[in-house]
Structure 1
């Protein structure tokens, strides 16, 4: 048996994890050549997974499934099921320290132990193509969770059980609606679409896609929706979509859509009409938006740059002064292409206003001078 020795080390950049993933890929390539007894190999895999605190052996069952074969996979399942029923010993609680009660340590050790066993049983079920065994690892309530239901549905679809998959997704979506679905869960909608598509429910599929676009402004879903429409219907639908984006409550999410599509004209319309709603702190969205706009819509791009400049100065974000100075130089360059500022300040007036409001931000003004153009 190959033994792996390792030292505890920081892996915040994922380097070691990538190495272990590559090792699993190599094991999967070599697995068909192994001539080890299947049950002996199953024992070794089982023992390795009992000491998998850093996920170093994640994926070992799929990687070795061909070498394990049905005999070895069944042996793994039997060992895991037996271990699930076995009591936890005090020795297994040492990892959790001594600052809590014995009962609490036993409870935590049992939870950790069973989580590993459930992973083994799930991987074995997948390897044997037994979707019901995979489903049996979860309660009916757990199968409604947005983190579990899509995986269940995709396994059922692969097994040719689209109606069962759709029932799981509909139950999941209904339960999430009760919680408001404040967060986006694209995997839920994607699995739902796959179920409807498999069953040929075209009208319901289009309705579900449009609902996702309306609520999340998902550019990829809109593309998929438009691709399913007849000629000319897609043009009208796209006009409706653009109208929806213009009035979408979350303006930043609207800009994310414009950048993703991409649609610089729509982004310009949104910014010129609703710029007062924008948060200058959202540089991770505003920066790509300004890049999208600067060539064809310099006034809209300028308003975006001004927002980021103003936020940095008003909130004393010294680390952003370098970027703010660069944005001011971009405003100066865009000024050459702007014939009419309309109701907005001219570039000269904006710079004068900055000097009046922030005369003591010398670190910023020094960086502006270095840019050479304001």
Structure 2
């Protein structure tokens, strides 16, 4: 049964007005942010103009400020900003949504100057600014139609030159609450701005100008989406450099619209990505980098081909993608389209493909995600001499997943992790090694039978070998669990 909160409106009301007022005064004297909230609440009793005047004073001070804010002052600074935002959302918005949105936009426009003079390594202040975007969307829904007519102008005036992406974020937040004529007017304004920015930055190294031009184009795509203008959306995407085009998203839109030939053309467009990535399993297997969206591209192409009536070709593409990537999602899409009673044989074949893969870390990742912990355990034990403990970011979570149902496999991985720490005498990791040994101690009874069947040394023998090989590592044994 949930406990009743010790503080609630009913209980506080019993204190009486005068006593509550004294408590508020005492806290206001101690906390500047709380004092600002109280002042805003008092101003609200006089109407929205009084609250707006108070908030404008605070915003003017924020706009004028130039001093650098060290990390130890970030939290009180963030609390001070949060009090102002709270005043706008909590006191001004209920009385005048339009005035509240104006102040939030003005607040967002200070982001560049604020971020340049603050050590916000933990992202506390940036998180506050990002939260304002959602508030703007919520409050916009309550603005009367006549006030919405000029909202785009106010947004552009406040954020048109902002390089932190808030123009795009705000446009997404408010677009659902604007009618089509307002969206069209906004798009016309954006088109003119985009033309000027493109002309001014063509062939230039004005990175900020180019970033603004890209942002304006992205906002225009938001307008096109809300207006249902698919051709306009595609034209804007086609105007981007090849490496920046989201060909997968456009192909999906065309597929939804039934424009299959165009969808296939977009999904098969080749572009050289600027950024590639590696997963932990790739690093462990030494397989190199991946191109973002490879699996998603194949899955969308398969859906397009299937929509064209060639299901066998679509299924072949899905299976080929699975074989190349061992992606669980690709296999699921393949299996979902099989006929009755075909699933079981197909899954056995897929699991055999994974088990036989040279990329054993990728295969283990696949079995853990599917999940097939029995297959994962078999893979771990079959390759028990090949797991490298230095890949602890991958192996430690895998061991934790296997602990309950497959303790012998978890034991193999924990031993690999501990052996690596001790073999390399990583004294700063002795604490982690001690925790691994504690898990091995705990798993020993449950793992004993399967370890024996696999021909793996029992826990007592393993512990003895540790003491024999690494007995002089006093730093480890000082923290290791005692038998």
Q: Report TM bin, short chain.
A: 0.7 to 0.9
Change (3 A) 1:24 1:167: farther
Other-structure match for 2:457 = 345
Q: How many residues align?
A: 353
Deviation at 1:260, TM superposition (A): 0.8
Task: Show the 5 A alignment for 1:69-218.
Answer: 69-86=179-196, 107-139=206-238, 142=241, 145=243, 148-172=246-270, 182-185=290-293, 186-218=295-327
Other-structure match for 1:35 = 146
Other-structure match for 1:98 = none
1:40-74 superposed Cα distances (whole Å, 9 cap, x missing partner):
33322222332332233433223333554333222
Q: Which runs of 5+ in 2 are unaligned?
A: 1-98, 277-287
Change (3 A) 1:322 1:341: farther
Q: Structure 2: how far apart are the matches of 1:68 and 1:342?
A: 67
The SS at the match of 1:52 is coil
Other-structure match for 2:466 = 354
1:134-174 superposed Cα distances (whole Å, 9 cap, x missing partner):
2222348846x58611121122234332331122112349x
2:378 matches 1:269: yes
Deviation at 1:308, TM superposition (A): 0.7
Deviation at 1:326, TM superposition (A): 2.1
Retained in 1: the 8 A contact 2:198–2:210?
no
Q: Structure 2: how far apart are the matches of 1:296 and 1:242?
A: 19
Q: Structure 2: how far apart are the matches of 1:169 and 1:325?
A: 51
Other-structure match for 1:12 = 123
TM-score (norm 2): 0.64
Other-structure match for 2:351 = 242
Change (3 A) 1:217 1:17: farther
Change (3 A) 1:193 1:322: farther
Q: Structure 2: how far apart are the matches of 1:134 and 1:88?
A: 18
Q: Structure 2: how far apart are the matches of 1:200 and 1:30?
A: 47
The worse-fitting range, judged by mean Cα deviation, of 348-357 and 232-241 is 348-357
Q: Structure 1: how far apart are the matches of 2:249 and 2:170?
A: 19
Change (3 A) 1:168 1:140: farther
Q: Which runs of 5+ in 1 are unaligned?
A: 94-102
Other-structure match for 2:78 = none
- The structure having more radius of gyration, on CA atoms, is 2
